[in-house]
Amino acid sequence: MIKTFLDRLNNWPSPKKTRILLIFGIIFFIIIIPFMILFYELSGYPVSFIESQLSFSGTIIKSHFSAMNAVELNYYLIWVIIDYGFMLGFTLIYFNLGLTLARKFEETSGWRKSGYIGALFGLLYFLCDAVENMFIFLMLTDISGFPNVLAVIHSWFAVLKFIFNFSSGYWLIHVSVVLSIRRKP
- pLDDT band per the 50, 70, 90 thresholds, residue 4: confident
The DSSP call for residue 140 is H
What does the pLDDT read at residue 169? Answer: 92
- pLDDT band per the 50, 70, 90 thresholds, residue 185: low
What does the pLDDT read at residue 82? Answer: 97
- pLDDT band per the 50, 70, 90 thresholds, residue 2: low
50 pLDDT more than 80: yes
What backbone torsions phi and psi does residue 132 show, to the nearest 5 degrees? -55, -45
Average pLDDT, integer, range 42-52: 94
The DSSP call for residue 142 is T
- pLDDT band per the 50, 70, 90 thresholds, residue 7: confident
31-35, 66-70, 94-98, 179-183: which range is least confident on average?
179-183
**Residue pLDDT, tens place only, 8-29:** 888 899 999 999 999 999 999 9
Of 107, 113, 120, the C-alpha closest to 175 is 113
- Quick one: 161 exposed, middle or buried, by C-beta within 10 A (0-12, 13-18, 19+)? buried
41 pLDDT more than 70: yes
Answer yes or no: are the C-beta atoms of 168 and 125 closer than 8 Å.
yes
Among left, alpha and beta (phi > 0; psi -120 to 50; other), residue 157 is alpha
Answer yes or no: are the C-beta atoms of 154 and 130 closer than 8 Å.
no
Of 7, 13, 8, the C-alpha closest to 100 is 13
Mean pLDDT for the chain?
94
The DSSP call for residue 147 is -
Among left, alpha and beta (phi > 0; psi -120 to 50; other), residue 43 is alpha
Cβ neighbours, 10 Å, residue 85? 16
